Structure formats: C-alpha cells, structure tokens
C-alpha cells in the first residue's frame, strides 16, 4: 500500500477544516492578515491538495486594509461545510466585524459577500440537524465552548448562545466542531494553547445542546513532552472517506535548532488516521511522519508552479499580500509579461507597503527573481511581520541587505550594481548554520537555518553571497504570532518590474 508524508500541506497553512462531497475533499485554512483570504484546496485522496482559489478574493467582501490591521490579526479559524447543495464557510475577522458566513454553489467560487452574525467569540463552526436546524459552536469570550442556533442565510441568532463544555481542564478550549455520527453528537475541540501543549479532546451527547460527556482518554492527541519531530498538534477536523475509514486534519509545526527549538514555516496541515473503540469513542495515535495512505486510487496534483513568468491575466491564488492589495499598486498589463509593483509606502517596517509573496513551504529552498528597478526601489524580502524581516533591496545603483529584528534595523551589506535588470536570489538552508557559542553547544549551532542573499547566479564558481543571516530571528518563537514566513517581491519607491519569480525546494544536505 502506498504511504504519504506529513505535512500534507506544508508551510503556513494553519487551522485546517475539511469536508467531503462525494469523492472530493475541500479544505480551508486561516490566512490572518494576508489578502486574498482563506485559501481553499481540493483533493481526491486527502493527501494531494491543489489550491483552487481563495474564499475571500474581492476587496468588497471585507474592508481592506482590515480595520486596525496588524500582524497575526485578521481572519481566524474558518470552518467549511456542504449542506443542501451549497458550500458554506464560517469565519472570524478579529479586526472588525466578528463572525460571518459566506457561501457558494461551487467551491471555486464566486463566494458571497459576508453575512454577519452577532456572536462574540472566535473559531465558529456550522452543523445541521436532519430537519435543517443549524447550530454554531464557537469559543466564547469568557472561555469555554458556546453553541447557538442560527439562520446562516440571514445571519440571525435564533436561540442562545449557551455555555456547553470547557474541555478536560487545559487552557484555551477552542476550535470546536460538531458532528452527528450514528446516535451521538460529538464535540471535538482543541485545548492547551496553540504552542507545545496543544491537544485534541472530544465529548459526546444525544443532542447538539448537550449535556456533554468527555472521553475518558482526553486529551485524545497531544505531542507535548515527547521527542517527536512534529509538535503543537491540535485544532483538528474529522472527515469520513468513501470507504468508511475516518481521518483527521490538524495543525502542527516542525521545530528545529538548539533548545528551545523554533519553527519558521508556520503551523502546517497534517493528516492522521482515526479509529473507533468498542464504546464509540474516537481513538487517535501520534501523528506520523509517514503513514499508509487512505484507500483507493492515488490522484497526484501539481504543486504550485515553481516559476511564474507573469504571462496570465491574473495572479495565481497562492500569491498573497499583507493587509491589502490595492488595484493601483500592481499590474500584469502595464508591461505585459511582467509584474509591475508601484510603491504605496516607503518601508516594510509598518503596514501600507506594496508586497506580493508566497509562503515558504520547505526548510531548504531557493527563491529567485529578475528585477528591473528602473528609477524605483524594491527587491526580495523574507517576511514574518513588520518587525521581523530580511530584505535584499535594489535602487539608485546599489544593492543592500537589510535586517529588521524587533526594534533594530541595520544595513548588513551593500555594494554598487549596474543599472538594468538584475537577478536576485535568497537561499535558505539547514546546514552551515551561523555558529553559536561553543560553550553552549559544543561547537554546534542554535539557529534553525541560514538565510543568504545573492546578486546573480549562486551556482557560479566564484559566487559569494552579499550577506548570510541567522534564521532564528524570523521564527514564531522570536517574533511571536500565528503565521509563518512569506517570501516575496516588493516596491518601496517609485515603480519596479519583475520579469519572473521562481521558488523551489532544494535537497537537504546530508546530516
């Protein structure tokens, strides 16, 4: 039997929610401050996923930039469901408006404008009884899980909300999902916080109103305190395959480096099998690095294209921008075959700049772009947030590597460059790391990786990086927050053009 490798969707794709319609699976993830919002994926086997769009892809669906926009703000924890011939996504915009529902006839969209619901909390869920009664479970503002009976079409709260279940006693019970399975209603939640103590617990009752009985083995899943390479396991959703097997998608991270370990790719989407015991409780083992694949035929799909020559009429759905992407800030038609970016702010250190990027999805990878700066200024950036990013910037006949780490901003290296198009490259590798104090690590290293910036071809015999920087400062454990690295193109002065952009994993060096 074939096996699959975890994660099934790598890089910053947290809080997965999944539904099955016939032989097709659809999955959505949180996107936080990035636009377009809520990436949606399709799969035939729960293993190979292809992004088919974004649920929120029109500025009219949400005020942009998001009110009070900040890093790790914005759109939290969606749920996707299919009911009565229609697809539904419920979500929270924590920076303005609260909880809302959108729907569509087709998962590719177009998705409706939001219908706002007066429920105060996060991580909302949708579940329907056989008579069409719709329930929303969510994490309430006072802690614990609440439920309410709602009309998702009109956005009305018809009954409740009621306090229901607060988990097994761990902190931050959240991420609820309600399911009718057999004669029971099951309430699946996350608890323990989204860091190393993250876990999955479940309760059941005869009605979506409860009362709820917690599983004797709660938490059903946690990697806390284990040496496993996958950590922070939680925020899960269940789905039944056509063959009757059950599966769980969930988030996790892959920390690296010297203690306390850091993760740089963000919280990723993992897949693990679910069994049911004789008493009707789900049973979940540790999340495997690889496992026997779900039954049935394999349906491999392509990864996002390694190279984009910007020849299409629209940007591919994996391209994202922080907070907003104003129409006047970018163009694919101004110079056909090029992505033209027009500066909307002079710095990447605060919101309001022009940036188009994609998630870093591999620990060892390379991103390359050809830039024509003209009389403008721009380049390549590895971004975690406004206070944590590295950039290779070209303008006024000079290329410079700049590091922003918390309150510090420093030009690390600079050199003159000729006018006209230039090839810029960032390489991220997990070997030859920035050395640490030998007293601490016996000559080893502390960072998870090295981020290096190059002008021209890094593979040329005499190539030397303009600068090499320790990657730990672009990690969640240093910067805080809920997101992962995004690598992209930007403009901070005038207008710059990019002829192409290429991202690809590179083989990890031998240990």
Question: Coil, helix or strand for 101?
Answer: strand
pLDDT for 292? 87
Per the structure, how many domains does the chain have?
Answer: 2
pLDDT for 299? 58
Does one domain contain both 274 and 402? no
Q: Which of 292, 315, 338 marks a domain boundary? A: 292
Q: What is the CATH number of the domain that holds 337?
A: 2.60.120.200
Does one domain contain both 340 and 470? yes
- Check residue 311 and report its DSSP letter: -
Does one domain contain both 232 and 352? no
Does one domain contain both 264 and 394? no
237 is catalytic: no
Phi and psi torsions of 477, nearest 5° = -65, -25
15 is catalytic: yes
Does one domain contain both 323 and 351? yes
Is 511 within the bounds of a domain?
A: no
Does one domain contain both 347 and 481? yes
- Of 15, 45, 57, 385, catalytic: 15
pLDDT for 95? 87
Is 298 within the bounds of a domain?
A: no
pLDDT for 353? 96
pLDDT for 460? 87
Tokens of 233: 């396991």
How many CB atoms are closer than 10 A to CB 245? Answer: 15
Does one domain contain both 67 and 108? yes
- Of 45, 95, 174, 385, catalytic: 174
**HSE-CB for 161 with a 13 A CA cutoff:** 20
Does one domain contain both 313 and 237? no
| Claim: this prediction has a pTM higher than 0.85 | yes
478: containing domain: 307-505
pLDDT for 507? 79
Residues 151 and 348: their CA atoms lie apart, in Å, by 42
- Cβ atoms of residues 378 and 341 within 8 Å: yes
Q: What is the CATH number of the domain that holds 173?
A: 2.115.10.20
Q: Which of 266, 292, 318 marks a domain boundary? A: 292
Q: Which of 292, 325, 346 marks a domain boundary? A: 292
Does one domain contain both 326 and 235? no
Does one domain contain both 245 and 345? no
Does one domain contain both 269 and 337? no
The tens place of each residue's pLDDT in the chain, 511 residues long, gives 678 899 999 999 999 999 999 999 999 999 999 999 999 999 999 999 999 999 999 988 987 666 667 899 999 999 999 999 999 999 999 988 899 999 999 999 999 999 999 999 999 999 999 999 999 999 998 889 999 999 999 999 999 999 999 999 999 999 999 999 999 999 999 999 999 999 999 999 999 999 999 999 999 999 999 999 999 999 999 999 999 999 999 999 999 887 888 999 999 999 999 999 999 999 999 999 988 888 765 555 556 668 999 999 999 999 999 999 999 999 999 999 999 999 999 999 999 999 999 999 999 999 999 999 999 999 999 999 999 999 999 999 999 999 999 999 999 999 999 988 999 999 999 875 545 444 444 444 567 899 999 999 898 888 899 999 999 999 999 999 999 999 999 999 999 999 999 999 987 655 5
Tokens of 99: 């909880």
pLDDT for 387? 97
Phi and psi torsions of 138, nearest 5° = -155, 165
Is 301 within the bounds of a domain?
A: no
């Amino acid at each position: 039997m074939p096996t699959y490798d975890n994660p099934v969707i790598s890089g910053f794709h947290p809080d997965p929610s999944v539904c099955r319609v016939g032989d097709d699976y659809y999955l959505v993830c949180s996107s936080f401050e990035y636009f377009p919002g809520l990436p949606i994926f399709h799969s035939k086997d729960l293993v190979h996923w292809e992004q088919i769009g974004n649920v929120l892809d029109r500025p009219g669906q949400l005020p942009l930039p998001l009110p009070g926009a900040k890093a790790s703000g914005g759109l939290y924890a969606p749920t996707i469901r299919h009911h009565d011939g229609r697809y539904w996504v419920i979500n929270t915009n924590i920076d303005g408006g609260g909880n809302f529902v959108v729907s569509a006839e087709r998962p590719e969209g177009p998705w409706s404008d939001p219908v706002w619901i007066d429920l105060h909390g996060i991580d909302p869920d949708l579940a329907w009884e056989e008579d069409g009664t719709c329930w929303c479970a969510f994490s309430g503002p006072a802690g614990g899980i609440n439920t309410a009976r709602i009309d998702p079409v009109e956005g009305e709260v018809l009954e409740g909300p009621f306090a229901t279940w607060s988990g097994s006693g761990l902190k931050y019970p959240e991420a609820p999902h309600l399911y009718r399975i057999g004669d029971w209603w099951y309430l699946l939640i996350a608890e323990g916080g989204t860091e190393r103590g993250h876990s999955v617990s479940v309760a059941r009752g005869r009605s979506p109103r409860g009362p709820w009985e917690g599983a004797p083995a709660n938490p059903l899943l946690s990697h806390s305190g284990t040496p496993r390479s996958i950590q922070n396991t939680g925020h899960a959703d269940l789905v039944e395959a056509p063959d009757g097997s059950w599966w769980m998608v969930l988030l996790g991270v892959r920390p690296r480096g010297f203690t306390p370990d850091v993760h740089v790719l963000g919280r990723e989407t993992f897949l693990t099998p679910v069994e049911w015991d004789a008493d009707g409780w789900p049973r979940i083992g540790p999340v495997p690095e690889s496992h026997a694949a779900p039954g049935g035929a394999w349906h491999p799909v392509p990864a996002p294209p390694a190279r984009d020559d910007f020849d299409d009429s629209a940007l591919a759905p994996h391209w994202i921008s922080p907070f907003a992407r104003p129409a006047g800030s970018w163009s694919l038609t101004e110079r056909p075959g090029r992505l033209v970016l027009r500066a909307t702010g002079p710095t990447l250190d605060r919101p309001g700049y022009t940036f188009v990027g994609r998630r870093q999805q591999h620990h060892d990878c390379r991103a390359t772009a050809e830039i024509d700066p003209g009389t403008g200024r721009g380049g390549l950036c590895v971004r975690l947030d406004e206070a944590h990013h590295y950039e290779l910037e070209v303008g006024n006949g000079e290329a410079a590597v700049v590091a922003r780490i918390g309150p510090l901003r420093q030009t690390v290296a600079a050199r003159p460059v000729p006018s006209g198009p230039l090839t810029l490259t960032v390489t991220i590798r997990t070997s030859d790391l920035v050395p640490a104090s030998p007293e601490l690590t016996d000559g080893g290293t502390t960072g998870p990786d090295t981020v290096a910036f190059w002008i021209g071809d890094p593979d040329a015999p005499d190539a030397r990086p303009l600068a090499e920087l320790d990657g730990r400062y672009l990690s969640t454990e240093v910067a805080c927050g809920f997101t992962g690295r995004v690598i992209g193109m930007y403009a901070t002065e005038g207008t710059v053009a990019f002829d192409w952009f290429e991202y690809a994993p590179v083989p990890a060096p031998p240990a």
